[in-house]
Structure 1
Amino acid sequence: MIHTLAISGYRSIRHLTLPLERLTVITGRNGTGKSSFYRALRLLAEVAQGRVISSLAAEGGLQSTLWAGPEQISREMRDGTREIQGTMRKNRVSLKLGFASEDYGYAIDLGLPVISSGSMFSLDPEIKAEAVWAGEVLSRRNVFAQRSGPAVTALDLAGRRQTVVTNLPPYESMMTHAADPRELAELLVLRERMRGWRFYDHFRTDVEAPARMSRVGTRTPVLSADGADLAAALQTIVEIGDREALNRAIDDAFPKATVRIVDTGGKLELLMSQHGLLRSLHAAELSDGTLRYLLLLAALLTPRPPGLMVLNEPETSLHPDLLGPLARLIANASAKCQIVVVTHARALVEELQAAGALTYELAKSCGETAIEDLKPVSWAWPSR
């Protein structure tokens, strides 16, 4: 489980380090930085996939994602007695992301590239530093793998620090190019753990949504990000997961309704029977809210829970009456995996708080995303 998440220099987040629990809710008004928080967490996961540079490019490049305000915000700027303006920089421009779990921690520092006349990719950000450590806070005593520039050093079996890579390109992470099952097994374990994180963000429910189409199905313990394999995922829960929990969750949201999966010429199709109707409804006929709830159901009742699941605005297109069942579904799922919910639905927040969720409400101060009364958390970034 992730105990601490740290973000620095990303969009509206100048510096933010906060503890997480088994179930954590991030809320706030529009424009306070909820999307920035979600994207930063997803960007951190992209490191383990080797896609952090391309993901930043998709957002407009590093320059478009960096904190755009002044390096330091004085008390006078905050109370309005002095105009907000930049000053001479003391630190390097960087985007930093990191987390600490119950056993390992990881952090990455991305910076501006050194201008190269021989490449057409001179706008790509560079990975300046990385570190993997044991424990909650990075220190010289507990770091067992560290990258500074092109060099990666690590502790050998005798506890001596050795250089294991000397020419790692600035666009490659040590998470994907220095993990060795013999010498850096911890790095490999952490990488695979991060690769298992799941993100669900605004399932499509339009007429041509993938979840509305019947298709050939295979055992699907993990619902895809686009929900195309919804029928297969639900049938997998029936066969190797918790069928009773699935039935209870459907009845909780849609009293006296049932869902079944049928084989139509080699393709799986979802059918839903509702009280008072004389025939079952196909997935193509379901309302947007009903389909979205079934997608969330398949994601949260997965027979193969991840280490971390992140839901971004799961309340979208749901009727208020479904927020209670959704909150109960999320709370029950958090017993098997860590869940972070990003939402602006006050009713959902209140239901999750009643279930014991740790809640943070984001606010804006001088353009900076902040959390009121957040207690300082010990954290250290790797040095370049």
Structure 2
Amino acid sequence: MIKTLAIANYRSIRDLAMELHGLDIVTGANGSGKSSLYRALRLLAECAGGDSGNVVGSLARDGGLASTLWAGPESISKAMRSGDVAVQGTVRRESVSLKLGYSGDDFGYLVDLGMPTPGGAGFDQETGRPRPSAFSLDPEIKREQIFSGPVARPGSLLVDRKGSLARLRGPGSGWTELSRRLDTFQSMLTEVSDQDRAPEVLRVRDSVRSWRFYDHFRTDADAPARQAQIGTRTPVLHHSGRDLAAALQTLREVGFERQLDAAVDHAFPGSRLEIAVNDGRFSVELSQPGMLRPMKAAELSDGTLRFLLLTAALLTPRPPELMVLNEPETSLHGDLMPALAGLIV
């Protein structure tokens, strides 16, 4: 289980180390940093690549590192905290970097992203000066660390990457070279795949790739969840909800039928969920008391469809080490809150 998340210098978050307890709810007023926390977690997950994407590419599409860094002062004085002096940005004196990380039961991971160094496009053969790169919005991965235990200390480091060089702790206190050709725009989690020498890297990569983010289920008329889709066994609901019917049918066939029916009945008393299959295409139908026929997915209300999507996500037979639901109560009537809370718990 993940025990701690750490973020520094990302948007409205100056320096945060947050302990996790199994079920954590983040709430607060608009502008208090909830979205920054969520987006920082997405960036951390993208260090592992896979379906999550690429952390450097995501930052570049967001306007580059300069537009996502903490814009306030490097340090906050007592006068600022008390309100006697306004909190405002100043000229930076220290190196600029965005730091993300987590620690868990077995391993922890930290990544430090900074501004690109001059000469990213090589050097001009005539002048000997560095040529500016066209990829000016790409930050660079300055350092990565994998460590054991809850805190990254010199004695707990297992893999340490600086620039293009990655080192592996050997027997005793010595270090051996793991790679010296890492690109500054690629995480070592995606570039190092030596199962025999560095199983910790693969363990961390697989762990982070298993994280799931359900932040925006479409419920409009053209939403994928409302359309019939080719169905295959789906133990993990896609983040878009496009394979909802297949995920719900999978729950029935792998032994979660009782839990699924109980969740639907808790939310919509007397209702029965059905999955219609026609030429391999799966679609959701809901039979409700007083209705002469089942309601098809295209006819369900936004709140009903969203609840079924959350049900498929939360009842997964393959729970991840981290699942993030962003405003799961959106579009849900207050009467559905106890059923949703039961699923989350």
Scaled to the shorter chain, the TM-score interval is over 0.9
Return the letter of the residue paired with 2:27: T
In 1, the alpha carbon distance for the partners of 2:310 and 2:285 equals 17
2:272 matches 1:258: yes
Return the letter of the residue paired with 2:342: R
Task: Name the counterpart of 2:126.
Answer: none
1:249 aligned counterpart, secondary structure: helix
Return the letter of the residue paired with 1:261: I
In 1, the alpha carbon distance for the partners of 2:247 and 2:171 equals 43
Could you tell me whether the CA contact under 8 Å between 1:273 and 1:280 is conserved in 2?
yes
Q: Which of 106, 111, 116 pairs up with 2:109?
A: 106
* Runs of at least 5 residues in structure 2 that lack an aligned partner in the other structure: 120-130
Could you tell me whether the CA contact under 8 Å between 1:5 and 1:19 is conserved in 2?
yes
Alpha-carbon shift at residue 139 of structure 1 (Å): 1.0
Task: Name the counterpart of 2:122.
Answer: none
Task: Name the counterpart of 1:238.
Answer: 252
In 2, the alpha carbon distance for the partners of 1:202 and 1:85 equals 33
Alpha-carbon shift at residue 87 of structure 1 (Å): 4.4
Q: Which of 151, 161, 164 pairs up with 1:137?
A: 151
Alpha-carbon shift at residue 76 of structure 1 (Å): 1.3
Could you tell me whether the CA contact under 8 Å between 2:189 and 2:201 is conserved in 1?
yes
2:87 aligned counterpart, secondary structure: coil
2:263 aligned counterpart, secondary structure: helix
Alpha-carbon shift at residue 179 of structure 1 (Å): 3.3
In 1, the alpha carbon distance for the partners of 2:133 and 2:95 equals 23
Number of residue equivalences: 331
Larger relative contact order (Cα-Cα within 8 Å, sequence gap ≥ 6): 1
Post-superposition Cα deviations, 1:277-333, rounded to whole Å, max 9, x if no partner, equal 1111000000000000000000111111112111011111000111111001100xx
Alpha-carbon shift at residue 90 of structure 1 (Å): 4.6
Q: Which of 64, 69, 73 pairs up with 1:70?
A: 73
Q: Which of 263, 270, 295 pairs up with 1:249?
A: 263
In 1, the alpha carbon distance for the partners of 2:90 and 2:277 equals 66
In 1, the alpha carbon distance for the partners of 2:246 and 2:62 equals 32
Post-superposition Cα deviations, 1:72-103, rounded to whole Å, max 9, x if no partner, equal 11111233323434445453111100001011
Distance 1:159 1:72, change over 3 A: closer
Return the letter of the residue paired with 2:61: A
Return the letter of the residue paired with 1:70: P
Cα RMSD of the aligned pairs, angstroms, is 1.4
In 1, the alpha carbon distance for the partners of 2:137 and 2:62 equals 13
Query: Could you tell which deviates more after superposition, 94-103 or 44-53?
Result: 44-53
Query: Could you tell which deviates more after superposition, 273-282 or 303-312?
Result: 303-312
Return the letter of the residue paired with 1:190: V
2:93 matches 1:93: no
Post-superposition Cα deviations, 1:124-180, rounded to whole Å, max 9, x if no partner, equal 101111100011111111101001122111123566311222231211111111231
In 1, the alpha carbon distance for the partners of 2:321 and 2:40 equals 17
Alpha-carbon shift at residue 119 of structure 1 (Å): 2.3
Distance 1:56 1:87, change over 3 A: closer
Write out aligned runs for 1:166-177 (5 A). 166-177=180-191
Distance 1:159 1:76, change over 3 A: closer
Return the letter of the residue paired with 1:9: N
- Quote the sequence identity (%): 54
* Runs of at least 5 residues in structure 1 that lack an aligned partner in the other structure: 332-384
Alpha-carbon shift at residue 55 of structure 1 (Å): 1.2
2:49 matches 1:35: no
Q: Which of 57, 62, 65 pairs up with 2:60?
A: 57
TM-score by length of 2: 0.93
Q: Which of 278, 285, 300 pairs up with 1:286?
A: 300
Task: Name the counterpart of 1:301.
Answer: 315
Return the letter of the residue paired with 1:240: V
